[in-house]
């Protein structure tokens, strides 16, 4: 990997100036590297982070068909990575005009990384630097512990999609410490009502007593009140403290919980494993926002590379070349979901609507379709609106808020259904729906969504770890359960249970007959698809043996 | 519909058929299809929808950079390392993680390529999106754009023709350009640790081209590894006679003999070409209509594994012959045709056995070759009770070193044992000639490890 030459770097700097003038915000420094096929072989398994830790699976062809992207939340072939300074990768024979376009695209990505709040936790440090020190640590451990380091990596990666990313984010965006439930709230809301279960009249008396204190002593009144209370309920203080730590415990994700409470990991001789698990968790947390902002990020970058390129005075004469590449990137395909195309069009629509003041109560009140169509308050707030979206939205919010019937109609979008024609042995693609609601739902269903699995702390006892999968209409991939649980059992040091939902098998799916695709038996009426029945089951992994029990 | 098949069917009907048999046969007769080879360019261009949203990326779209291709060298190195790793895993009490995919890509004219993708999967808790699609014949939805009324069909894509034995390239996977291509050796190399051809006998040896043994057969004067005393003494006597130091040949006094340095004869290690037994393997595959889908896939996959392993282990010393059969059997010229021929027609196992017997007798292969037969079928046979097949099978047992029959069973359909399985079990041959005849019944959902286990059973 080598840096781009001075000539190209100059072009980049020119792009930066123009992008800044247009309102994009990004740090001054950036690094651009030329990559070859050989570099990419090494980079892609490491999610383009050159300093990521080594792991043998990275050298192997990984079967992806089953979990597909769900297994790999990073964008493995991204041009630009979210580091400080941001690093981007280039083909060595791009013509200048193409580089201009790509540079704008890249700068918009950098702007997105550095301003979108879902990336908040990545702002304060350089991930490549962190990764390098982690990599060295793992290499050092490997020299000492051999293949056991790889087992720990493997088993940690087995649960690295269950990290509590949103809890992590709430540290930045949640209500701050002052507004958190304090002793006063705890006393009145929890202690009196839930623990002491006092009568309403007594409760009101307490409120009165408190108000009296405040009236009498002013600000220090609260202290006076609680010193009185402390005499009456000496246990209050302790209970309050306990409730606070339990709250924190509640919020631990599976990895954190294992790190914190595993007997096995906390043995003196196994403490080194904790640092490995921690590295895997941190890496995963770092990549979480990436996949949750794919449409937004690519749409944003496409919007800006189009806009800025066309304004750029340096590339006169390459408009046609640009048009060809650009439309290749952002055209809506007949069948398929192109995040660049959809994202960019959504941004244009948001800008237009905001320009006309359509995000307003006045507009919402209008019921008449024609009036809605021609509504224009000329607010000119379009640019501001898309910058707000860029700062505050994720893919889910973007789609849920802005994919409406106007959008679907304007771009002639539809949901494609896929139907198996058993006679001719082809999949038929057909127009399933042109309703915005259906299209929106289809998009939302396509978005990355890992299963929500947490530790059930009430049932985690006698050393057994009890995991609970929140049912969201889908079962877990069965083939993977055993090995994943085996990994967790290893790190936990005791048996592990997993509560999840499964489809109740309703006898043989089809009547007994010789099955020959293409040959359909004479009389079989098309039955409506059978209703799927669900049941809760508990898997138990003990001593690397898996067993299953149905919950009644 | 095929007249020949119909007349055969009527004949069988006269003999009497159970309802179950009758239905199976009718199904095969009505099944329309030919034994064509697949067209060279299969597959439509529609991407699978789930890949789509996150499949797009900057490098590809903006810079037209393709996914990187791993080099051949890399893959070789990693296979060794990976096998080693799996060994350690076993030792440490963890299940193996490397999957040796099914990986041959038969080329025309015997230029077979194995696509060795040592692959693995990272297991995590994941949502299974496919659980209801399959049952309802309705795939996942995707997005589209353009004109078209609701309900209008806008495009078609052939279902991956899994049944058509490798059409579309078994083991090709989705990652077309990502493959690491090498020849069949790599796969064989992996399998070879586990297998060896059974019952190899010395028959019509021929000289091996590549294998050598080292033996102390060459003689050398002056120096070497081992002194050949007898030869040395003879040389000494010879020398002394010519020097005239042995006047009386009846009473030689050894103390008087002179010894020249060059009289010492030594044995030295030398490379000797080795002789090897010759072997010929018959691959026999049922490509009747009922084989459509999973059974063909399994049978072919297993034969690919055996074939690759033979290529490696016996270094092309093993000759292979390929026979396919429906109601009639024919020999095909190469593995490509064998592998790719589509299924159609009825089933008469006996026809294939008869053909193999014929080949062996007319070419008198028995004298010179160790003969092996691997037969793959779904177990259907119009020949109820094996009236024709069993005698042919017995004939085969007279010359074969091992016959391995793989039955890829349909899980649905009749719950009883398949026809072939029944009559082979009833014939008692499995018990009488356990050294020569093996049978393995594969369930329909067998995976790679199960196939390998099956091979073990067939050739152990």
Q: Search chain A and give the residue with CA nearest B122.
A: A158
Q: b vs e for A164-203, b when ≥16 Cβ sit within 10 Å of the residue's Cβ? A: bbeebbeeeeeeeeeeeeebeebbeeebbeeeeeeeeeee
Asked whether the predicted pLDDT for residue A48 surpasses 80, the reply is yes
A414 with A490, same domain: the answer is no
Average predicted confidence (pLDDT) for chain B: 72
Asked whether the predicted pLDDT for residue A495 surpasses 70, the reply is yes
- Any A CB within 8 A of B154 CB: yes
**Contacting B residues, span 45-64, partner chain A, CB-CB under 8 Å:** 46-47, 49-64
Q: 3-class DSSP state for residue A453? A: strand
Q: How many Å apart are CA A43 and CA A76, to the nearest integer?
A: 9
Integer CA distances (angstroms), B399 to B348, B374, B394, in order: 22, 14, 9
- Any B CB within 8 A of A452 CB: no
A412 with A478, same domain: the answer is no
Nearest to B137 among A59, A160, A419 (CB): A419
Q: How many Å apart are CA A426 and CA A437, to the nearest integer?
A: 28
**Contacting A residues, span 158-197, partner chain B, CB-CB under 8 Å:** 158-162
Q: List, in sequence order, the alpha helices (H) in A233-338.
A: 236-250, 254-261, 271-292, 294-311, 319-330
Nearest to A431 among B59, B128, B148 (CB): B148
User: Of A250, A266, A292, at which residue does a domain stop?
Assistant: A250
Q: Search chain B and give the residue with CA nearest A330.
A: B61
CA distance A194 to chain B (A): 37
Residue A29 located in a structural domain: no
H-run or E-run covering A223: helix A221-232
A459 with A536, same domain: the answer is yes
Contact criterion met (CB < 8 Å) for A514 and B136 = no
Nearest to A339 among B56, B99, B159 (CB): B56
Mean pLDDT, range B377-397, rounded to an integer:
83
Contact criterion met (CB < 8 Å) for A427 and B55 = no
- Any A CB within 8 A of B19 CB: no
CA distance A168 to chain B (A): 20
Q: How many Å apart are CA B72 and CA B74, to the nearest integer?
A: 5
**Contacting B residues, span 302-341, partner chain A, CB-CB under 8 Å:** none
Tell me the whole-structure pTM to 2 decimals.
0.70
- Nearest partner of B300 among B130, B150, B103, judged by Cα: B103
Q: Search chain B and give the residue with CA nearest A533.
A: B132
Integer CA distances (angstroms), A441 to A328, A404, A433, in order: 26, 11, 11
Q: What's the confidence (pLDDT) of residue A100? A: 93
A497 with A535, same domain: the answer is yes
Q: Search chain A and give the residue with CA nearest B139.
A: A418
Q: How many Å apart are CA A216 and CA A212, to the nearest integer?
A: 6
Q: What angle do CA A359, A361, A365 make, to 5 degrees?
A: 110
Q: What is the dihedral of CA A315, A317, A322, A327, to 10 degrees?
A: 140
Asked whether the predicted pLDDT for residue B73 surpasses 60, the reply is no
A463 with A443, same domain: the answer is no
Asked whether the predicted pLDDT for residue B360 surpasses 80, the reply is yes
Q: How many Å apart are CA A203 and CA A192, to the nearest integer?
A: 7
Nearest to B149 among A340, A431, A443 (CB): A431
Nearest to B124 among A67, A415, A516 (CB): A67
Q: What angle do CA A153, A292, A497 make, to 5 degrees?
A: 45
Contact criterion met (CB < 8 Å) for A427 and B156 = yes
Average predicted confidence (pLDDT) for chain A: 86
Is A547 within 8 Å of A539 (Cβ atoms)?
yes
Q: What's the confidence (pLDDT) of residue B313? A: 65
Across A345-349, A540-544, B169-173, least confident range: B169-173
Q: What's the confidence (pLDDT) of residue A156? A: 95
Residue A520 located in a structural domain: no
pLDDT in tens, A407-453: 999 999 999 888 877 777 777 888 989 999 999 999 998 888 899 99
User: Of A414, A430, A450, at which residue does a domain stop?
Assistant: A450
Contact criterion met (CB < 8 Å) for A60 and B412 = no
Q: How many Å apart are CA B355 and CA B396, to the nearest integer?
A: 11
Bridge partners of residue B265, in order along the sequence? B221
- Nearest partner of B135 among A458, A378, A420, judged by Cα: A420
Contact criterion met (CB < 8 Å) for B68 and A44 = yes
Mean pLDDT, range A361-371, rounded to an integer:
89
Q: How many Å apart are CA B435 and CA A373, to the nearest integer?
A: 84
Asked whether the predicted pLDDT for residue A510 surpasses 50, the reply is no
Contact criterion met (CB < 8 Å) for B93 and A450 = no
For A157, list phi and psi in degrees, rounded to 5. -65, -25
Q: How many Å apart are CA B16 and CA B155, to the nearest integer?
A: 47
Best mutation target, B58, B148, B345, to test chain A (most A CBs within 10 A) = B58
Asked whether the predicted pLDDT for residue B134 surpasses 60, the reply is no
More confident residue, A365 or B311: A365
Q: What's the confidence (pLDDT) of residue B49? A: 40
Is A352 within 8 Å of A303 (Cβ atoms)?
no
A437 with A464, same domain: the answer is no
Bridge partners of residue B320, in order along the sequence? B281
Q: How many Å apart are CA A529 and CA A531, to the nearest integer?
A: 6
CA distance A279 to chain B (A): 17
Per-residue confidence at A353, pLDDT binned at 50, 70, 90? Answer: very high
- Any B CB within 8 A of A475 CB: yes
Contact criterion met (CB < 8 Å) for A479 and B123 = yes
Best mutation target, B43, B88, B145, to test chain A (most A CBs within 10 A) = B145
Q: What percent of chain B lies above the pLDDT cut of 90?
A: 0
Length of chain B as a residue count: 460
Contact criterion met (CB < 8 Å) for A61 and B293 = no
DSSP string, B268-337: EEEEEEEEE--EEEEEEEE-SGGGTTHHHHHHHHHHHHHHHHHHHHTTT-EEEEEEEESSSEEEESSHHH
Mean pLDDT, range B188-201, rounded to an integer:
60
For chains A and B, count residue pairs whose Cβ atoms are closer than 8 Å.
Answer: 348
Q: What's the confidence (pLDDT) of residue B416? A: 67
Q: What angle do CA A205, A211, A212 make, to 5 degrees?
A: 90
DSSP string, B395-439: HHHHH-SEEEEEEE--SSS--SPPHHHHHHHHHTHHHH-TTTEEE
Nearest to A503 among B68, B131, B413 (CB): B131
User: Of A209, A226, A250, at which residue does a domain stop?
Assistant: A250
Residue A537 located in a structural domain: yes
- Nearest partner of A334 among B354, B46, B125, judged by Cα: B46
Q: How many Å apart are CA A50 and CA A33, to the nearest integer?
A: 11
Q: What percent of chain A lies above the pLDDT cut of 90?
A: 52
- Chain B residues in contact with A412 (beta carbon < 8 A): 145-147
- Chain B residues in contact with A517 (beta carbon < 8 A): 163, 292-293
Q: How many Å apart are CA A40 and CA B66, to the nearest integer?
A: 10
- Any A CB within 8 A of B84 CB: no
Per-residue confidence at B37, pLDDT binned at 50, 70, 90? Answer: low
- Chain A residues in contact with B97 (beta carbon < 8 A): 154
Q: Search chain B and give the residue with CA nearest A526.
A: B136
Q: b vs e for B2-11, b when ≥16 Cβ sit within 10 Å of the residue's Cβ? A: eeebeebbee
All CATH 3.40.50.410 domain ranges in chain B, comma separated: 190-207+276-459
Q: How many Å apart are CA B60 and CA B58, to the nearest integer?
A: 5
ipTM value: 0.82
A542 with A487, same domain: the answer is yes
Q: What is the dihedral of CA A299, A302, A305, A306, to 10 degrees?
A: -110
- Chain A residues in contact with B28 (beta carbon < 8 A): 516
Q: What's the confidence (pLDDT) of residue B184? A: 47
Per-residue confidence at A528, pLDDT binned at 50, 70, 90? Answer: low
Q: How many Å apart are CA B49 and CA B43, to the nearest integer?
A: 15
- Any A CB within 8 A of B17 CB: no
- Nearest partner of A48 among A74, A19, A22, A84, judged by Cα: A74
Contact criterion met (CB < 8 Å) for B156 and A426 = yes
Instruction: Determine if the peptide bond prior to B52 is cis (ω within 30°).
Output: no
pLDDT in tens, A269-306: 999 999 999 999 999 999 999 889 999 999 999 999 99
- Any B CB within 8 A of A399 CB: no
- Chain B residues in contact with A434 (beta carbon < 8 A): 150
Q: How many Å apart are CA A299 and CA A443, to the nearest integer?
A: 15
Q: 3-class DSSP state for residue B131? A: coil
Asked whether the predicted pLDDT for residue B449 surpasses 80, the reply is no
Q: What percent of chain A lies above the pLDDT cut of 70?
A: 90
CA distance B445 to chain A (A): 13
Q: Search chain B and give the residue with CA nearest A69.
A: B54
Is B154 within 8 Å of A430 (Cβ atoms)?
yes
CA distance B79 to chain A (A): 9
Q: Search chain B and give the residue with CA nearest A425.
A: B159
Top CATH class, B190-207+276-459: alpha beta
Q: What's the confidence (pLDDT) of residue A223? A: 80
A200 with A229, same domain: the answer is yes
- In terms of residue numbers, what domain contains A466? 453-507+530-550
Contact criterion met (CB < 8 Å) for A450 and B31 = no
Q: In what order do the strands lie in the sheet with B153-158?
A: B142-145, A413-421, A426-433, B153-158
**Contacting B residues, span 226-285, partner chain A, CB-CB under 8 Å:** none
Residue A222 burial class via C-beta count within 10 angstroms: exposed 0-12, middle 13-18, buried 19 and up: middle
Length of chain A as a residue count: 552
Residue A420 located in a structural domain: yes
CA distance B153 to chain A (A): 4
Best mutation target, B47, B76, B126, B297, to test chain A (most A CBs within 10 A) = B126
- Chain A residues in contact with B53 (beta carbon < 8 A): 69, 294-295, 337, 339, 446-447
Q: b vs e for A345-376, b when ≥16 Cβ sit within 10 Å of the residue's Cβ? A: bbbbbbbebbbbbbbeeebeeeeeeeeeeebe
Residue A244 located in a structural domain: yes
CA distance B16 to chain A (A): 20
Per-residue confidence at A77, pLDDT binned at 50, 70, 90? Answer: low
A489 with A425, same domain: the answer is no
- Chain B residues in contact with A440 (beta carbon < 8 A): none
Nearest to B125 among A62, A422, A451 (CB): A451
Q: How many domains, chain A?
A: 3
A419 with A498, same domain: the answer is no
């Amino acid at each position: 990997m080598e840096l781009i030459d001075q000539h190209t770097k100059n072009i980049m700097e020119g792009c930066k100036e123009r992008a800044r003038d247009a309102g994009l915000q990004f740090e001054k420094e950036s690094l651009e590297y030329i990559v070859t096929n050989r570099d990419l072989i090494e980079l892609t398994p490491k999610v383009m982070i050159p300093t990521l830790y080594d792991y043998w699976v990275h050298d192997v062809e990984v079967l992806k068909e089953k979990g597909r992207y769900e297994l790999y939340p990073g964008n493995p072939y991204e041009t630009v990575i979210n580091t400080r300074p941001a690093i981007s990768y280039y083909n060595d024979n791009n013509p200048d005009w193409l580089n201009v376009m790509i540079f704008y695209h890249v700068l918009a990505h950098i702007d997105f990384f550095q301003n979108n709040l879902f990336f908040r936790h990545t702002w304060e440090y350089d991930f490549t630097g962190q990764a390098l020190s982690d990599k060295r640590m793992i290499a050092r451990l490997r020299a000492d512990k051999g293949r056991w380091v790889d087992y720990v990596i493997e088993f940690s990666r087995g649960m690295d999609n269950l990290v509590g990313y949103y809890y992590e984010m709430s540290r930045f965006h949640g209500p701050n410490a002052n507004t958190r439930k304090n002793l006063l709230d705890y006393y009145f809301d929890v202690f009196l009502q839930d623990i002491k279960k006092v009568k309403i009249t007594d409760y009101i008396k307490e409120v009165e007593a408190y108000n009296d204190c405040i009236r009498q002593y002013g600000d220090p009144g609260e202290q006076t009140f609680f010193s009185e209370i402390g005499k009456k309920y000496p246990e209050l203080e302790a209970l309050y403290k306990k409730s606070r730590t339990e709250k924190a415990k509640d919020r631990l994700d599976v990895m954190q919980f294992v790190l914190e409470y595993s007997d096995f990991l906390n043995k003196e001789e196994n403490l080194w494993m904790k640092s490995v698990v921690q590295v895997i968790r941190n890496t995963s947390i770092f990549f979480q926002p990436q996949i949750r902002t794919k449409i937004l990020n690519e749409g944003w970058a496409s919007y800006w590379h189009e806009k800025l390129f066309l304004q750029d005075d340096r590339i006169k004469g390459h408009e046609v070349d640009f048009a060809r590449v650009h439309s290749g990137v952002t055209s809506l395909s007949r069948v398929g979901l192109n995040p660049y195309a959809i994202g960019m069009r959504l941004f244009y629509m948001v800008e237009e609507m905001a320009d006309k003041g359509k995000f307003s109560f006045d507009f919402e009140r209008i019921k008449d379709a024609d009036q809605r169509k021609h509504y224009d308050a000329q607010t000119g707030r379009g640019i501001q609106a898309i910058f707000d979206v860029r700062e505050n939205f994720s893919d889910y919010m973007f789609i849920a808020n802005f994919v409406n019937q106007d959008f679907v109609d304007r771009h002639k979008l539809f949901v494609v259904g896929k139907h198996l024609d058993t006679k001719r042995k082809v999949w038929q693609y057909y127009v399933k729906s042109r309703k915005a609601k259906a299209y929106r739902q289809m998009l939302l269903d396509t978005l990355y969504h890992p299963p929500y699995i947490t530790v059930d702390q009430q049932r985690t006892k006698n050393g057994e770890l009890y995991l609970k999968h929140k049912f969201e209409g889908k079962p877990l991939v069965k083939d993977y359960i055993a090995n994943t649980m085996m990994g967790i059992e290893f790190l936990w040091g005791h048996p592990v249970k997993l509560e999840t939902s499964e489809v109740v098998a309703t006898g043989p799916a089809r009547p007994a007959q010789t099955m020959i695709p293409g040959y359909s038996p004479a009389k079989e009426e098309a039955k409506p698809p059978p209703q799927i029945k669900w049941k809760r089951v508990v898997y138990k992994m003990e001593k690397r043996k898996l067993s299953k029990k149905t919950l009644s | 519909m095929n007249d020949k098949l119909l007349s055969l069917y009527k004949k069988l009907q006269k003999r009497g058929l159970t309802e179950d048999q009758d239905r199976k046969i009718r199904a095969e007769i009505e099944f329309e299809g030919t034994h064509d080879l697949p067209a060279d360019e299969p597959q439509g261009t529609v991407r699978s929808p789930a890949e789509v949203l996150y499949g797009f990326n900057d490098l590809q779209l903006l810079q037209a950079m393709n996914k990187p291709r791993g080099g051949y060298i890399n893959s070789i190195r990693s296979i060794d390392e990976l096998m080693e790793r799996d060994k350690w895993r076993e030792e440490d009490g963890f299940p193996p993680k490397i999957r040796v995919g099914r990986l041959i890509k038969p080329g025309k004219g015997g230029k077979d390529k194995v696509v060795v993708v040592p692959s693995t999967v990272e297991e995590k808790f994941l949502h299974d999106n496919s659980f209801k699609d399959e049952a309802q014949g309705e795939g996942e939805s995707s997005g589209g754009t353009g004109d078209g009324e609701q309900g209008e069909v806008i495009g078609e894509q052939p279902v991956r023709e899994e049944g058509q034995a490798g059409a579309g390239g078994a083991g090709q996977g989705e990652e077309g350009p990502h493959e690491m291509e090498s020849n069949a050796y790599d796969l064989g190399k992996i399998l070879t640790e586990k297998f060896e051809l059974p019952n190899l006998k010395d028959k019509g040896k021929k000289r091996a081209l590549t294998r050598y043994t080292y033996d102390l057969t060459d003689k050398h004067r002056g120096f070497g590894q081992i002194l050949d005393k007898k030869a040395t003494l003879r040389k000494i006597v010879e020398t002394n006679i010519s020097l005239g130091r042995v006047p009386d040949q009846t009473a030689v006094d050894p103390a008087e003999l002179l010894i020249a340095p060059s009289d010492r004869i030594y044995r030295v290690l030398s490379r000797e070409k080795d002789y090897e037994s010759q072997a010929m393997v018959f691959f026999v595959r049922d490509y009747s209509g009922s084989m459509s889908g999973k059974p063909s896939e399994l049978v072919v996959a297993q034969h690919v594994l055996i074939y690759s392993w033979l290529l490696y282990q016996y270094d092309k010393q093993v000759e292979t012959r390929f026979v396919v059969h429906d109601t009639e059997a024919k020999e095909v010229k190469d593995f490509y045709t064998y592998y790719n021929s589509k299924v159609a027609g009825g089933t008469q196992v006996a026809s294939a056995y008869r053909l193999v017997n014929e080949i062996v007798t007319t070419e008198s292969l028995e004298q010179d070759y160790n003969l092996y037969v691997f037969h793959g079928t779904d177990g259907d046979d119009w020949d109820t009770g094996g009236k024709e097949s069993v005698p042919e099978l017995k004939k085969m047992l007279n010359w074969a070193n091992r016959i391995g029959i793989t039955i890829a069973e349909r899980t649905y359909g009749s719950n009883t044992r398949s026809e072939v399985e029944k009559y082979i079990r009833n014939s008692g041959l499995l018990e009488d000639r356990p050294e020569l005849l093996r049978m393995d019944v594969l369930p329909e959902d067998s995976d790679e490890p199960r196939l390998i286990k099956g091979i073990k059973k067939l050739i152990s």
